Structure 1
Amino acid sequence: MAFLDRILDPPSYGYERNGKLYVPTHREITAEFFSRLNVARSRKNWLGLFAWVTSLSFGIPLVLFFTHHFSWWLMAVGFVYSMVVIGTHGTVWFHRYSTHGAYQFKNAFFRELCRNLVIKIVVEEAYVVSHHVHHSFAEQPGDPYNARAGWLYCFLADVNHQALNKTLDRKDYAQVCKLMKHTGVRLNSYEQYQRWGSLCHPGYTALHFALNWAFWYGVFFLIGGHALALALFGWAGVWAIGVRTYNYDGHGGGKDRRREGIDFNSRDQSINQCWPGLITGEWHNNHHLYPSGARAGFLPYQFDLAWHFIRAWAWMGAITSYRDYKQDFLNRYHQPWLARAKAQDCPETERAVPDSSAAS
């Protein structure tokens, strides 16, 4: 069994039956979800419970905003903050840096600054480790958020399929730590991992969230009082729940929705979508074509806000290097496609050879 095959904790219903993807029933998925939230059964279930408790807790400021401070202006500000600012930060920090190492920070100060630029919502461990597995087994049995298994399968994947395997030996645990060490997350020793079943410690994780939330609530309060702070924290919760649906949509809802001339990666069913692309730089098919690239928007209409953020920080000296595959994409994929399309639209006509006898 390869390393990435064994680093996640498989669900009780398994990933496959008779060599094919097993699609569990909604009842099986739901039962697995609540079983894995049960910290009374095992303290090693703490991370999944922590993720959902923190995400759902944003419902409190959201309700307070609607009941005490609602305004259409703040509604718009919260929407932009969650969809654009938090979404782009997710692409920059979790996707392109923490998982794929597409660029490098000058030092730990700029790394930590980037890590905490927005309200903290996602624990790095829950994203990074499983995302490596996703790229290795996209839409195959073992993909932790396999769109072919359905919407609920993807929506509850952070608990059901993305948790770290609780029985790794010391060597495998050390290898998993290497996937996370560049993120700055304080990692457990092997003995701590055996106690908590995770890379990160619950105490440090809770402290990080508390300090981050206190800082940003204070900043927003100083700018616009409780009204602004509640609006932005409440809308952060909308993003926290909504992002759990992204991979299902980004892989065509389990169907092949790729379009010629737009989606050039043929290894899986990821697709480029205008909404997540334009507001966060998540041109998903392009990303699967070049996972380690700092840019995913290659064509003129594919505005990539995350890429412009990375370029701006590089200009300021906070980022020292990055990988950009735009020219390679144009040379290997887009220009050959344009040539083929042109040849199909304007086929060369055969020229008749003049009859020499008729000419005479």
Structure 2
Amino acid sequence: MAFIDTVLEQPSYGWTDGNGELSKPTTGQIFKEFFKRLNVFRDKKNWLSFTSWMMIVGLAIPLCFFIFKFFSFSLLFIAFAYSMIVMGSHGTVWYHRYCTHRAYKFRNPVWRFITQNITLKIIPEEIYVISHHVHHAKSDQPGDPYNAQGGFLYCFLADVNHQPIARNMDEKAYGRCVKLMGHTGQVSNSYAMYQKWGTLANPLRTIGGILLNWGFWYFVFFMIGGHALACTIFGAAGFWAVGVRTFNYEGHGKGEDKRREGTDYNKADMSVNQLWPGYVAGEWHNNHHLYPKSARSGFLPHQLDLAWCYIKLLNLMGGVTEYHDSKKKFLKDYYKPHQETKVLAKPLILETVK
């Protein structure tokens, strides 16, 4: 089988049913798979998924402090801005456009390190990147790790149930995974260590990096605004970490074809452009699926792309040396032909009315 078909650990309910269609597990099956794959006592190879969700549990503590002890409308505004705009745009800039699609290049590892850690670290790169390559190769098809046709929980719990890499890869396949992650700066396990831990990431290095990142940012925010500001922002990051898990379900029409003529030009899958993710995170999803390697996905005047603004700013500062920008190609190949078709069709419609 092709590498893309076997690189992810298949859930117990499988990718397909007996007829080659998408296997749609029941709620009970999804939760059973979820808790099985979180159980580090049953299998230590579950450590990465367990760590990812323990971060959310940990961030619930400062969120509670913000809500019940430090709450104010000014802090609520800060929480909103940090979770929706800062965390959202960073997810697009770092995980989506750089780690997965290599849409731009940093001048050196210093700029890469700054971009990686400019917000609280929430999502392990490995969980996002490898599975996102599969998502684009199999979008809305069986094997897509967050296929919206599987339902809300199928997508919401996908980071545990569908996104971890396979644990039985041979050395050649594992080497391909290492290459997919090489540009991110991650120091991957040797093949022997992969066989022990079931991941590219090393537990000590990964958890140590998270603790250093969190410690640094808590100190910074505490020095600026005390425990109130620090708890507000950490709680906001936890809120984002939960909310972002709903995106692909919404971004692919909740399993239905919600594409709109003149708005969603990519017809190869069910991805749609949404105003809210577009404005706060630069995630114009249908545009992105049309040109996944583009550092910009807000192609039209009304499509604000804050993630692109950050990348372009780094380019002007010298931190980013090159990038792909598909705006001109989009306008030439899709937008202008569509506008011309509308102009030509208008007289025919008027004539029909007469």
TM-score scaled to structure 2, two decimals?
0.98
Report how far residue 345 of structure 1 moved: 1.4
| AA of the residue aligned to 1:326 | K
1:75 aligned counterpart, secondary structure: helix
Aligned residue runs from structure 1 range 324-335, under 5 A: 324-335=325-336
**Deviation by residue 1:100-155 (Cα, 9 ceiling, x = unmatched):** 00000000010011000001101000000000000000010000000000000000
Q: What's the TM-score once normalised by structure 1's chain length?
A: 0.96
Partner of 1:9: 9
Select the structure of larger CA radius of gyration.
Answer: 1
* Counterparts of 2:67 and 2:265, CA distance in 1: 43
Measured after TM superposition, the shift of residue 348 of structure 1 is 9.3
* Superposition pairs of residues 85-100 of structure 1, within 5 angstroms: 85-100=86-101
Note if 1:196 corresponds to 2:197: yes
Q: Deviations over 1:5-55 (max 9, x none)?
A: 111000000010111111000000000000111111111011111110111
Aligned to 2:262: 261
SS in 1 for 2:39: coil
Which deviations, in whole Å up to 9, do the C-alpha atoms of 1:261-316 show, x marking residues without a partner?
A: 00000000000000000111000000000000000000110010001110000000
Moved more, 66-75 or 197-206: 66-75
Task: Identify the residue that residue 341 of structure 2 maps to in structure 1.
Answer: 340
Q: What code does the residue aligned with 2:163 have?
A: Q
Structure 2: stretches of 5+ with no match in the other structure: none
Aligned CA distance change for structure 1 residues 345 and 166 (closer, same or farther; 3 Å): same
Task: Give the gaps of 5 or more residues in structure 1.
Answer: 351-360
Q: Distance in 1 between matches of 2:33 and 2:68?
A: 35
Give the % identical residues: 54
- How far, CA to CA, are the matches of 2:61 and 2:349 in structure 1? 66
Map residues 102-251 of structure 1 onto 2, 5 A cutoff.
102-251=103-252
Q: Identify if the C-alpha distance between structure 1 residues 97 and 349 changes in structure 2 by more than 3 Å, giving closer, same or farther.
A: closer
CA distance, structure 2, for counterparts of residue 313 and residue 321 of structure 1:
10
Q: Secondary structure at the match of 1:346?
A: helix
The CA distance in 2 between the partners of 1:90 and 1:348, in whole Å, is 44
* CA deviation map 1:323-360 (0-9, x unaligned): 0000100000000000111111123999xxxxxxxxxx
**Does residue 1:297 correspond to 2:298, yes or no?**
yes
Letter in 1 for 2:290: L
Q: 2:349 and 2:296 mapped to 1: Cα distance?
A: 37
Report what 1:358 is aligned to: none
2-side partners of 1:180 and 1:55: how far apart? 24
Taking the aligned partners of 1:267 and 1:237, their CA distance within structure 2 comes to 33
Structure-2 change in CA distance of 1:142 and 1:203 (3 Å): same
Q: Which amino acid aligns with 2:14?
A: G
Which secondary structure does the structure 2 equivalent of 1:20 belong to?
A: coil
SS in 1 for 2:348: coil
